[in-house]
A = this chain, B = another copy of it.
Amino acid sequence: MSPRPRKDERSINLQEAIKETAWQYIAKYGAPALSLRAIARALGITAPAIYNYYPDRDALVTALIIDAYTSFGDAQIAARDAFPEEDIIGRLHAIGHAYRRWALAHPQRYQLIFGTPVPGYVAPMKQVLPSAVRAFGVLVSVVEAARRAGTLRADSFPPIKPGYEAALEEWKRFSGDADVLSLSVALLIWARVHGMVSLEIAGSLPPFGAGVDALYEYEITSIERQFFREGES
């Protein structure tokens, strides 16, 4: 009846060790090649033993995705907080470049998050959403700060259909009770950045070489010019 904690050291370590080994394999051979048996082999255990820590492969993938989102969010939070609260353009710039830098540094993680890396897998929103919202809430918070400061240039922004406030509760919690407008603008910015980064990671871009840097920088500043007024300093 009473849940009996075992030695607890090895157990928890194994749970983490499984994820760690999984990351190594993903980094080496790509996310879709993830194999429970290979992980078990590397850890010196048998494949079914993993089922003591994750009910099935999808659960492991979910855990990996959450970890990836957390790392992704950390990177963006750090980038944002490197600039003072009032320097909205500075924060935006930093976030945009941190986004690409993280994605290029961990392309497999990025594809694990946004791609369809595993055959039958669909991410369970309930578990993933919090960490995802935390990561994208960073951008939302800065946009919202601009809106509050009156430097958000979004007069002609299309009115988004109402009636989905409930679904966005979680977003608001992590982004300082952002307005729906800020959320929409952030969404569009996110889409632009994701578009370029995902194409670059997938190798779908022509061999522009170092030119991609310039193109990305141009896109970031385009976004800033389109949506943000200079703050009165």
On A, residues with C-beta under 8 Å from B are 29-33, 111, 114-120, 156-161, 163-164, 167-168, 171, 183-184, 187-188, 190-196, 198-199, 202, 204-211, 214-215, 217-219, 222, 226
Contacts and interface: CB of A to CB of B under 8 A. Distances in A.
A195 to B, nearest CB: 2
B215 A188 contact: yes
Q: Name the residue among A120, A163, A195, A214 with the largest chain B CB count within 10 angstroms.
A: A195
B160 A204 contact: no
A118 B116 CA distance: 9
- What 9 pairs across the A-B complex have the smallest Cβ distances? A195-B195, A158-B214, A160-B211, A32-B119, A161-B211, A191-B195, A191-B196, A158-B218, A194-B195
Contacts of A191: 192, 195-196, 199, 219
Contacts of A183: 206
Nearest to A210: B161
Interface of A is mostly: helix
A116 B195 contact: no
A192 B197 CA distance: 10
Given A116-B111, A164-B207, A191-B196, A222 B214 contact: no
B187 A219 contact: no
Given A171-B206, A195-B191, A207-B164, A116 B158 contact: no
Given A194-B195, A196-B191, A196-B195, A208 B161 contact: yes
Contact of A120 (B32, B120, B157, B193): B32
A219 B161 contact: no
Nearest to A222: B226
Contact of A226 (B29, B190, B214, B226): B226
Nearest to A112: B116
A109 B184 CA distance: 28
A115 B115 contact: yes
Contacts of A167: 206-207
A226 B119 CA distance: 40
Nearest to A199: B191
A219 to B, nearest CB: 6
